[in-house]
Homo-oligomer: A and B are copies of this chain.
């Protein structure tokens, strides 16, 4: 062996100076996508994940909290866990607001821009905290819908710990509350964390009633302007999406237009169905697996795929 040839990593070189110089040019000139003006600190995905875990534990301390919680200790646990989560959330909301054009800070807080931002973030966080008991009620209805709707489910504990749908709905309900209060960037990040954990992608702006159940769930997509009633049940790979995206005269997409389905109460949509556009699925309907649906159907409909073909 020729020692001067072989030196492991010890003498390796990567032409660092040249690569770094080219990356700088790419960043600052040829492919600059940095947000303009003042540097804005981005929200932290890892911190948000830990915040949501804290909220989960505060909402359901027996299932998601610490073992050995007793009657004398449980409120201390809930209080401390919640306080820590809210403190952290407030900071993330603040960062997220820097990316929202719509928030009119001046209205709510009479102060300088930076102070107003913190003040607004705290106001949102306080209102969010106040919404938690109601969210807990909705989540309990969701869990009970799962227990009633899946013959394989054996206990509340199994639904709390082993159903990705439970997790996805929990994250959605928290994100939706934040979205409604104006913390939209944060809400989106939370929904994407849930997506990564469960394969279920629910936009935080969607509106979903109680007793919601998603079984298996991988690949479910619920779009931004979708509206779901009470007791809706979805299976894996169901898409509630948009059919086309209206653009303005310059070809720029118009944002926020209602373009996703309305699903009324007591609808069941089986695996792989794709429902697109601002159509309405009437109450009590059943949409079969793999169906492609782009027109409204009346209440009580039963839609199935065309026949298969045997070769």
Q: Is the CB of B115 within 8 A of A5?
A: yes
Partner of A133, one of B2, B25, B271: B25
Q: Given the interface contacts A237-B272, A292-B288, does A72 sit within 8 Å of B17 by beta carbon?
A: yes
List, sorted by A's number, 21 A–B pairs whose CB atoms are closer than 8 Å: A1-B114, A2-B110, A2-B112, A3-B114, A12-B68, A12-B86, A14-B86, A15-B72, A20-B79, A23-B132, A31-B140, A33-B143, A35-B62, A39-B62, A42-B67, A76-B78, A99-B158, A236-B239, A276-B289, A302-B310, A304-B311
The contact size tier of chain A is: 35 or more
> Given A125-B12, A308-B305, A31 and B111 touching (CB < 8 A)?
no
Question: Is A155 an interface residue when CB atoms closer than 8 A count as contact?
Answer: yes
**Given A26-B133, A133-B19, A198-B196, A304:B309 Cβ within 8 A:** yes
How far, in angstroms, from A42 to B66 measured CA to CA in the complex? 10
Residues of B within 8 A of A310 (CB): 297, 301-304
The answer to whether B305 and A130 touch across the interface, beta carbons within 8 angstroms, is: no
- What residues on B are CB-neighbors of A148 within 8 Å? 252-253
Task: Select A271's contact among B13, B58, B149, B239, beta carbons within 8 Å.
Answer: B239
